[in-house]
Structure 1
Amino acid sequence: MASGEDVTAWRPAVPGVTEVFHAHFTEYAYPMHVHDAWTLLIVDDGAVRYDLDRHEHGTPHDTVTLLPPHVPHNGSPATPDGFRKRVLYLDESVLGEDLIGPAVDAPDLRDPLLRLRVGQLHGTLTRPGDELEAASRLTFIGERLVEHLRPRGPALSPPARPDPRLARDLRELLDSRVVEGVTLEQAAVLLHAHPAHLVRAFSTAYGIAPHQYLTSRRVARARRLLLDGRRPGEVAAATGFFDQSHLTRHFRKLVGVTPGRFAGPASGRVSPSASA
C-alpha cells in the first residue's frame, strides 16, 4: 500500500450492517467491480470520481452516495491529495432490491440531515457496546434513504405519531432486560412494531431515546454496586456494559466522574453535587 494510504474495516454486531470500511487513499483507483450489498459512502476529505452504469459521478464531501448492489462501478481520487471516506455496506433488510433502479438514476444525495446521521452512526459503530444506539440510528437512515428513492411527498422525516401504549410496552421490556439488553430487532418482533416507529413512540412519550433510557438504568445500577464496594471492572460485567471502558464513558457522561472517583477508597465520599 502506498505511503499515506490507510484502511480499517470491521463487522459490527448490528443487524443490517455487513461491514464498516474507513479508508484514506491518495493514489489508489478502484477498477470496475460490483458488491452484493448496498454501499453507503460519505467523503470527509477530498473527493471521488466514479462511473456507475456508464455515467460519471462525483462525491463532494457534503453529499451522501448510495451505490446499489450488483451494478458495476469504479472509483478514483478527484483531488491531488486523494480522499478520506467512510463506508457502510448494508444488506437487503435495510434497502430492498426494488430500489436499485432509482439508486442508479440518482446515487448522490444532497441531504444535510442524512449526512449528519450517517456520520453519527459511524461514530457510534466505533464504540463496542452501543449496538442499540447504532441500530436506532440505522433505522432512521434506512427510512430516509427509502424516502429519497421512493418519494411520496415534498417532506422527509414525517412527524412522530404518539403511541403511549407501545412506548410503555418498550419501557417495560427494557426494564426487564437491563443487564442482558435487547436488540432493536428483537424488540420490534416482540412488540409487533416497525423499529423506526418503536423508537419514535418511545422518544415522543418519554423525551429520551430507548438506548439512552437503558444506559441510564444501567448507570443507576452501577452506582449502587460501586457504593457497595464492588470494583469497576466487576460492576461493568454485572450491569450490562461491554467492558470497564464502556462503563466509564457512560458513567462519566451521566454522573460527572469516573466510577473509580465516584466510590474510590481515596475519596471515601463524593460531594453531593458530583453524585446528583
Structure 2
Amino acid sequence: MAASRPAPQPTADVAAWRPGVRGVVEVFHAHFTEYAYPMHVHDAWTLLIVDDGAVRYDLDRHEHGTPHDTVSLLPPHVPHNGSPATPDGFRKRVLYLDASVLGEELIGPAVDGPDLRDPLLRRRVGQLHAALARPGDEFEAGSRLTLIGERLRGHLRGTDRVRADRRDPVLARRLRELLDGRLVEGVTLDEAAGLLQAHPAHLVRAFSGAYGIAPHQYLTARRIDRARRLLLDGCPAGEAAVAAGFYDQAHLTRHFRKLVGVTPGRYGARRPGRDSSGPDGVRPAPAGPA
C-alpha cells in the first residue's frame, strides 16, 4: 500500500517596510494559506489588492470578498477580520495610508462600499507598489499616490469619473523649470506643490497635459541624459549614477536599460572604426596574399 503524502504545511511569507513617501505608513506584502485575521482595527486606511486567491472579511458586520480584479479600501477605526476564501490561500499587497490622505469624512462611504471594481485604479495601485519597492523612485511613488488618492475620493464621493483639471501651461512650465534646476538633488511632490503653490494632483495633471509625460518620467529621462554624457566622458557607472541624481548604480542601471536598451557598462563601449580585437581598439586590416 502506497504511503500517504504528507499534508502541505501552512504558508506564511511576508515582507514589510516603511518607505520614504509621505502618506504611506507601511507597505505589507503577504502570502498566507491558512492564517485568519481576528477582528481588529487600524488607525490608517488599508488599501488592499489580491494577486492570487481571494480573501473574505467582515467589515461593520457585513461580509465582503476581494477577487483579484478589485481594490479594497478599509477605513481606519472600523473593525474587520480576514481569512482565505480559496484552498490555496491568498497573496496580497497592502498599503497603510495615513488617515489624512483621504480624511475622516469619507469613512462612512468606505464602510458602505469598500470593494472597488476599477481596472485603472487597480493598475495604478500595482504601479505604486512597484515604485515603493525601488529605492530612489520616491518622486514617482508620490506622484502615483496623489492620483490614486484623487481617484479614491472620486469613488467615495459617488463620482466614478474624476474631472480632469483645466490645462495650466504656466504651472507646467514652472514645474519643468523646478525639475531642471533640481535635477541632481531632486524634489518631492509635496515640496514642489509648496514652492509652486498648487495642489499635488493639479501639478501632475497640468504637467502631463502640457508635455505628454508624467513629471517623474521627465525627471528620470533628464537624469539619463546627464548620465549618458558622463559615461561618454569616461566616468565610471557608479560615479555617474550619483552625479546624475540616481540613488545608486543599480537605480541607474534599471532605468538606463529601460530607456536606452543596454546597461551603462555597455553604453559607449564600442564606436565606429574601433574594435577590441586590436591593442588600440582598431581592428587590424586583413592580411593580403603571400
The TM tier, using the shorter chain, reads: over 0.9
How far off its partner does 1:102 sit?
A: 0.9
How far off its partner does 1:141 sit?
A: 0.6
Residue 18 of structure 2 corresponds to residue 11 of structure 1: yes
Cα distance in 2 between the residues matched to 1:92 and 1:190: 24
- Where 2:52 maps in the other structure, the secondary structure is strand
How far off its partner does 1:67 sit?
A: 0.5
5+ unaligned residues in a row in structure 2: which ranges?
1-8, 274-290
Equivalent position amino acid for 2:136 in 1: G
In the alignment, what sits opposite 2:104?
97
Residue 235 of structure 2 corresponds to residue 235 of structure 1: no
In the alignment, what sits opposite 2:258?
253
In the alignment, what sits opposite 1:200?
205
- Where 1:23 maps in the other structure, the secondary structure is strand
* Partners of 1:163 and 1:205 within 8 A in 2: yes
Cα distance in 2 between the residues matched to 1:93 and 1:194: 15
In the alignment, what sits opposite 1:274?
none
In the alignment, what sits opposite 1:176?
181
In the alignment, what sits opposite 1:122?
129
Equivalent position amino acid for 1:4 in 2: T
How far off its partner does 1:228 sit?
A: 1.3
* Partners of 2:73 and 2:110 within 8 A in 1: yes
How far off its partner does 1:115 sit?
A: 1.0
Of 55, 59, 64, which aligns to 1:52? Answer: 59
* Partners of 1:39 and 1:68 within 8 A in 2: yes
| Percent identical | 79
How far off its partner does 1:160 sit?
A: 3.8
* Partners of 2:53 and 2:90 within 8 A in 1: yes
In the alignment, what sits opposite 1:190?
195
Moved more, 89-98 or 182-191: 89-98
Equivalent position amino acid for 2:168 in 1: D
Cα distance in 2 between the residues matched to 1:191 and 1:120: 26
Cα distance in 2 between the residues matched to 1:90 and 1:227: 43
- Where 1:188 maps in the other structure, the secondary structure is helix
Equivalent position amino acid for 1:236 in 2: A
* Partners of 1:160 and 1:204 within 8 A in 2: no
Moved more, 97-106 or 163-172: 97-106
Cα shift readout 1:52-79 (whole Å, capped 9, x = no counterpart): 1111111111111110111111111111
Cα shift readout 1:246-268 (whole Å, capped 9, x = no counterpart): 1011112222221111134xx3x
* Partners of 2:50 and 2:67 within 8 A in 1: yes
In the alignment, what sits opposite 1:157?
162
Cα distance in 1 between the residues matched to 2:251 and 2:162: 31
CA RMSD of aligned residues (A): 1.4
Equivalent position amino acid for 2:267 in 1: F
- Where 2:30 maps in the other structure, the secondary structure is strand
* Partners of 1:39 and 1:90 within 8 A in 2: yes
Cα distance in 1 between the residues matched to 2:100 and 2:204: 17
Cα distance in 2 between the residues matched to 1:250 and 1:48: 35
- Where 1:89 maps in the other structure, the secondary structure is strand
Cα distance in 1 between the residues matched to 2:92 and 2:30: 5
Cα distance in 1 between the residues matched to 2:231 and 2:66: 49
In the alignment, what sits opposite 2:140?
133
Equivalent position amino acid for 1:72 in 2: P
Cα distance in 2 between the residues matched to 1:51 and 1:3: 23
In the alignment, what sits opposite 2:224?
219
- Where 1:6 maps in the other structure, the secondary structure is strand
What TM-score results when the alignment is normalised by the length of structure 1? Answer: 0.93
Distance change >3 Å, CA 270–CA 99, structure 1 → 2 = farther
How far off its partner does 1:224 sit?
A: 1.1
Q: Which runs of structure 1 show a deviation greater than 3 angstroms over 4 or more consecutive aligned residues?
A: none
Cα distance in 2 between the residues matched to 1:230 and 1:112: 44
* Partners of 1:229 and 1:263 within 8 A in 2: no
Cα distance in 1 between the residues matched to 2:232 and 2:69: 48
What TM-score results when the alignment is normalised by the length of structure 2? Answer: 0.88
* Partners of 2:175 and 2:207 within 8 A in 1: yes
